[in-house]
Chains A and B, each alone.
Chain A
Amino acid sequence: MNLQKRLINSNNTRRLTSYLLGLLFILMIASLVIGDVNISIISSLKDILNNKSTLNSIIFEEIRLPRTLLAVLIGASLGLSGAALQGMVRNPLAEPGVIGVSTSAALGAVIVFYFGLAAAFPMALPLGGITGALLAVIFLYLLTRRNNSMLSLILAGVAVSSLAAALTALALNLSPNPYASLEIFFWLMGSLADRSFSHVWLILLPTLIGWWLMLGTRRDLDVLSLGEDSAQSLGVQLQSLNKRIILGVALAVGSAVSVSGGIGFVGLVVPHLLRPYVGYQPGRLLVSSALGGAVLLLAADITVRLLPTQQELKIGVLTALLGAPFFLHLILKSKREWTS
């Protein structure tokens, strides 16, 4: 790639980033304004600044604000993790939901949540999710080490997903709480309804560490796209790159799933849509995918709030409706690889 092209690309990337940031800002405002009851945002902001508690300020501060922040944090984690995983295994189908990382995280969170551990020690909830996610990522990494084909990745993902989902259902049925078994839907589909600031604080630190670990691999990921041997000759430490991404994905996705349930396909759709705009460079894709993921999840969350369903639709239903056809499209597009 010559210098001129490279400059155009980096300009494009910068423009893309500012577009996404602008869009994210607008959606955040919308998310704070849209809700079940009409409240004046300006007067509630005034109340908050004057440290005055009113009905409006409670609805704004305790219901809408944490929900918006969670959508941004979790969406960014999912988009970023998808892009990082795809860069690491050089396979466009790697995504936390598809390869079973989200479901495994849900399993870890469910075990911690329903059997009283999280009640005794709140941090146990994200830690449970992170442990579940970590086990799944390590397993899939070892698998792709030996045989990096699309087929084995997807099939292993199916196996990990169904196993984790079955164990989640088992754990919920064994739980002493009578409502637990009905909540499998939340853990497999995900929702941001009625979450609170305590959830934001719970996942903030592990999420930020996860982001930092993944974003630190930007340069190395770009080089890795040239192939492992070239990357190694250019001084990329593959071991440490892989470790960072595995740990980063586990931290970000594990903590996200532990408060929102498994929301699928965000990490698949977003990097795929943005890839052309960043010159197909996996490193540059990371930041854009994080922003894109936040935008997508926030938009999806606003949509489920607006849909006239009696009970709010689970947000994962919407992302799956959007993402599953995409997934199919990606598979069909790379049909040639199946036959090889």
Chain B
Amino acid sequence: MKLKRLLLFSGFFYALVLSANIMAKPQRVVSLNLCADQLLMELLPPDRLVGITQLAADSGASYLYQKAAYFHQHSSRIEEIMALKPDLIIAGQFTSQATNQLLESLGYKVIRLGLPVTVKGIFKQIKFLGEQLDQSDPAAELIAKMQRELNALAAARDRRNLRAVVYYANGFSAGRHTIVNEILNLAGFKNIAVELNIDHIAPLSLEALIASNPDILLLGRLDDNTDSLAHQVLRHNAIERYTALKQVTKIMVPDRYWSCAGPSSLAAAAYLQQNVPDSSN
């Protein structure tokens, strides 16, 4: 009898400890943002990350598109998100604002992730997420892995001080305060958009692009199977003739490498290093 009571009591105590532990440790996390998807897939197993965006499985936009197959993808509609019974929602600072606010007013906990523009900022964000998810160890591991990749990038850095420029669909380029700028610097290139005083992502005219005389031209995704006016500019005769004239290296960087700041950013820098020929003048 005594034993039974003891057992009951200890079982009760155990359950109490467990539930306290569960309360601190979010068990059903839902992501509303492609970039949050990327980090959360690194830090959480599928049974705790119960929903990611459909974009996460798009090989064009998402770096971890293969891994995304192991996770449930939601349609980003609020009713479906509520049906997943999340205890923590991770959203982007600038995306789906209306949904975020509505979810908050319904009593859900929503964390908004900013867009870091430096590797330091990425590390800080990963550490913060690790604390929030009670996954500090995987976060530290991820950071250590990225640190090793950083060292490898520095070792392979191109010493020729090549001048590169990014040209996206619709004629946009990325200047100061962008993760793309950080990626170019990590790979060892000078970003022409910074020379031209471009902050953030801003339009760069085709004329200015040609006149800036880049050594390396990084073009946004254009080998799509369908056409759009936005991509037509990347195939403009002026660009074709310029690259032929100056023997310029033209690199198509798939959007998945730099649509988000995170582990993909280092992979982007490595991709650039691999695609630059060793002895261009």
Residues of A near any B CB (own CB < 8 A) = 35-37, 39, 53-55, 58-59, 62-64, 113-116, 118-119, 175-177, 179-180, 182-183, 186, 194, 196-198, 310-312
B76 lies within 8 A of chain A by Cβ: no
0 or 1 for each of B187-227: is its CB under 8 Å from A? (1 = yes) = 00000000000000011011110110100000000001111
Contact of A179 among B169, B171, B203, B225 (CB under 8 A): B169
The reply to whether B224 and A177 contact each other, CB–CB distance below 8 Å, is yes
B5 lies within 8 A of chain A by Cβ: no
A312 to B231, CA, bound (A): 17
* Cβ contacts under 8 Å, B211 to chain A: 37, 39, 55, 59
Output the nearest chain A residue to B241 by Cβ-Cβ distance. Answer: A58
29 A/B residue pairs, CB under 8 Å, sorted by A: A36-B207, A37-B208, A54-B245, A55-B211, A55-B213, A58-B210, A58-B242, A59-B207, A59-B210, A59-B238, A62-B236, A62-B237, A62-B241, A63-B206, A63-B210, A63-B236, A116-B225, A175-B228, A177-B226, A179-B169, A179-B230, A179-B231, A180-B226, A183-B228, A183-B230, A186-B229, A194-B206, A196-B236, A311-B203
B233 lies within 8 A of chain A by Cβ: yes
A182 to B242, CA, bound (A): 29
A54 to B228, CA, bound (A): 29
B170 lies within 8 A of chain A by Cβ: yes
Apart from the given pairs A62-B237, A177-B231, A179-B169, 5 other A-B contacts in the complex at a CB distance below 8 Å: A63-B238, A113-B227, A177-B227, A179-B230, A186-B229
Min Cβ gap B220→A in Å is: 10
A35 to B207, CA, bound (A): 8
The reply to whether A53 and B230 contact each other, CB–CB distance below 8 Å, is no
* Cβ contacts under 8 Å, B233 to chain A: 194
The reply to whether A118 and B227 contact each other, CB–CB distance below 8 Å, is yes
* Cβ contacts under 8 Å, A119 to chain B: 226-227
The reply to whether B202 and A310 contact each other, CB–CB distance below 8 Å, is yes
Min Cβ gap B264→A in Å is: 19
Min Cβ gap A79→B in Å is: 25
The reply to whether B245 and A58 contact each other, CB–CB distance below 8 Å, is yes
* Cβ contacts under 8 Å, A116 to chain B: 225-227
* Cβ contacts under 8 Å, A198 to chain B: 237
* Cβ contacts under 8 Å, A186 to chain B: 229
A118 to B242, CA, bound (A): 25
The reply to whether B227 and A63 contact each other, CB–CB distance below 8 Å, is no
* Cβ contacts under 8 Å, B169 to chain A: 179
Contact of A310 among B203, B227, B236, B241 (CB under 8 A): B203
The reply to whether A196 and B226 contact each other, CB–CB distance below 8 Å, is no
With contacts A39-B211, A59-B238 taken as known, whether A53 is within 8 angstroms of B245 at the C-beta atoms is: yes
With contacts A37-B207, A55-B242 taken as known, whether A175 is within 8 angstroms of B230 at the C-beta atoms is: no
Output the residue of B202, B211, B213, B227 with the most chain A CB within 10 A.
B227
The reply to whether A55 and B237 contact each other, CB–CB distance below 8 Å, is no
The reply to whether A182 and B241 contact each other, CB–CB distance below 8 Å, is no
The reply to whether B242 and A177 contact each other, CB–CB distance below 8 Å, is no
